[in-house]
Amino acid sequence: MLPSADRTKPHRPWWRLLYTWVLIGIVAGVATGAFLPGFGAGLQPLGQAFIALVKMIIPPVIFLTVVTGIAGSHGVGSLGRVAVKAFAYFLVFSTLALIVGLIVSHLIQPGAGMHVDPRTLDASAVQGYAAKAHESTLTGFLLAIIPETLVSAFTSGSILQVLFVAILFGIALSLVGEPAAPVTDLLERLATVVFRLVSLVMWAAPVGAFGAMAFTVGKYGVGTLVSLGALVGTFYLTSALFVLVVLGTVGALTGFSILKLLRYLRAELLLVLGTSSSEAALPALIEKMQAAGAAREVVGVVVPAGYSFNLDGTNIYMTLAALFIAQATGVHLSLGEQLALLGVAMLSSKGAAGVTGAGFITLAATLAIVPKVPVAGMALVLGVDRFMSECRSLTNFIGNAVATLVVARWEGKLDREALARALDGHPAPLTAASGERDPD
């Protein structure tokens, strides 16, 4: 039973809720791009500026969350258990997402009947992505996790480098013990200030969403969706089924409703939709998962690692798009070749993680290793990739939120009462980043 104060707390007016303004920004951006395409395409800097603001605060948020979480857990062993369980979850569900994309592409066959001659495709349009894919190897990705210096981790733009340094620093604080208590206390106080900074930055989200949506619709046009509507519709439908059925089942087994979780994260989901970037909502996700009862050390490890290793939406996209290209160009893939495609996609999705335009780059990397499907076929989906990136980002974001709660439950560090309160609309006062301290 919730305290009477919570049950009688008045709702905040709609004009004081962040998600309302993000939604208005998205609608205004779509309208601007549709009716004033030239002007809308020129508003790209608004979206870029907001994402740059968020990326500016991601390193300190991750560092402080992880370090204080490890130092406060009074045990390094629990960190290893969290990491093992998280990566086991990532492996299973990333593979499942690839399989789902493969199955749906066979059932619906969005590319069948197009009869595209690969020789008529403009291969030069995708050469840049193919070059980046060639540069992004798994070995190079793993070596890039180690920063040149402790400080460079905060300026490199790599989430995994910050996570690596934070884990080492947190372990060192934990091993030093009592003499390091003043440092831990300072970091706790600094975390309070940084999360207040997050709440300030997030109020620029409506402007960022407006600029990003105006640019997307203005430059690419809604008309591009018509010609490849089968592919785009199939991808959105597949992602929705994966979230509601697969992740919904996982949530039910863990003890929460996926629909309630989506409602709880509605402001962040609108932000991801508007900016086509799940990174834009990373700081807010860290804060909201803690408010929902997940232990800080679990959140600090699972969320940042998930942004590179738990890419459900990207994995669905890769197998679906690869099979679409094969169907459109009349290429028949045997079962063995499809399994090989699955294995390559599993590796390439990690090798290009964290790279701008990672979904398209990983697709290029996958097709380059499975030569039977022409890489030039990527030109078929280039025009609508921007629209599909929004769905990729949304699915990735939701997948990481579910993963955090599941791993916290496995580790016995999920406050079930706090989770129930948060999903019922009465979270602990840790949701400043989303502008919903008193949710409606």
Q: Is residue 439 part of a domain?
A: no
Query: What whole-number distance in Å separates Cα of residue 418 and Cα of residue 156?
Result: 36
pLDDT given at position 76? 66
pLDDT given at position 111? 76
Distances (CA, A) of 30 to 39, 134, 226: 12, 35, 16
What is the residue whose two structure tokens read 């948020």? 61
Residue 234 region by backbone torsions, left for phi larger than 0, else alpha for psi between -120 and 50, else beta: alpha
pLDDT given at position 314? 87
What is the residue whose two structure tokens read 């991601």? 58
CB distance 100 to 242 below 8 Å = yes
Question: Could you say which DSSP state residue 11 is in?
Answer: P
pLDDT given at position 407? 95
Range of the domain at 348: 18-434
Q: What CATH number corresponds to the domain at position 155?
A: 1.10.3860.10
Residue 331: which of 383, 384, 389, 380 has the closest Cα?
380
Query: What whole-number distance in Å separates Cα of residue 396 and Cα of residue 393?
Result: 5
Question: DSSP labels for 239-264?
Answer: HHHIIIIIIHHHHHHHT--HHHHHHH
Q: Is residue 355 part of a domain?
A: yes
Instruction: Domain count for the chain, please give it.
Output: 1
CA atoms within 13 A on the CB side of 383: 15
The pTM of the full predicted model, rounded to 2 decimals, is: 0.80
* Strands, E assignment, 47-104: none
Query: What whole-number distance in Å separates Cα of residue 354 and Cα of residue 297?
Result: 22
Query: What whole-number distance in Å separates Cα of residue 147 and Cα of residue 152?
Result: 6
Query: What whole-number distance in Å separates Cα of residue 121 and Cα of residue 379?
Result: 7
Q: Percentage helix, strand, coil, to 5, in the chain?
A: 80, 0, 20
pLDDT given at position 300? 87
Q: Is residue 3 part of a domain?
A: no
Q: Is residue 440 part of a domain?
A: no
> What type of residue sits at position 423?
L
What is the residue whose two structure tokens read 């834009």? 280
Angle at 406 between CA 434 and CA 297, to 5 degrees: 65
Q: Is residue 6 part of a domain?
A: no
Tokens of 75: 């045990």
Question: DSSP labels for 198-237?
Answer: HHHHHTTHHHHHHHHHHHHHHHH-TTHHHHTHHHHHHHHH
Q: Mention every residue, 6+ apart, whose C-beta is less than 8 A from residue 403.
A: 86, 89, 90, 93, 302, 306, 310
Over the chain (440 residues), the average pLDDT of each successive run of 10 is 39 72 89 90 88 86 86 70 90 91 88 69 54 56 81 84 89 85 89 87 88 85 69 90 95 94 92 84 90 90 87 88 85 81 73 52 72 74 77 92 95 92 76 38
Q: Is residue 210 part of a domain?
A: yes
Query: What whole-number distance in Å separates Cα of residue 238 and Cα of residue 35?
Result: 31
Q: Which residues pair with 294 in a beta bridge?
A: 414
Q: Mention every residue, 6+ apart, whose C-beta is less than 8 A from residue 8.
A: none
Q: Is residue 24 part of a domain?
A: yes
Tokens of 391: 């769905």
Distances (CA, A) of 345 to 189, 227, 242, 333, 369: 43, 26, 18, 15, 10
CA atoms within 13 A on the CB side of 141: 21
Q: Is residue 12 part of a domain?
A: no
